[in-house]
Amino acid sequence: SQQGEEDPQALSIQEGENATMNCSYKTSINNLQWYRQNSGRGLVHLILIRSNEREKHSGRLRVTLDTSKKSSSLLITASRAADTASYFCATEGYQKVTFGTGTKLQVIP
């Protein structure tokens, strides 16, 4: 079963705009991770945020975590066509990582 639900399921933006994706989850977690998947390929780890952290940055990525609401958001600033991919949140609980259903992002050049 999927632990997380990403919102929106699909997002289409113009190059240069910002993209925001949200993830909600159900149970307590140790950390939350975001992954990217290009069509038909494996997943690539983007960023990890621990349960005691509220915000984290990595390049053009900004992740927030609100454990009281059991939600996280991923912001990609100044999007590029190469950012076109599916983005998944993954929550890590006891000895197991559970993935959400993903947001499909399309960045139009």
Give contact residues for other proteins (rule: CB under 8 A). Answer: 1-2, 4, 30-31, 33, 35, 40-45, 48, 50, 88, 90, 92, 95-102
Cβ proximity to other proteins: between 79 and 103 the closer is 103
Shortest distance, CB of residue 41 to other proteins, whole angstroms? 6
Neighbour count for residue 57 (Cβ, 10 Å): 11
Residue 52: CB partners within 8 Å, gap ≥ 6? none
- Kindly list the distances between the CA atom of residue 19 and the CA atoms of 40, 62, 75, 103, in Å, as whole numbers in the listed order: 22, 10, 6, 11
Shortest distance, CB of residue 22 to other proteins, whole angstroms? 15
Shortest distance, CB of residue 16 to other proteins, whole angstroms? 28
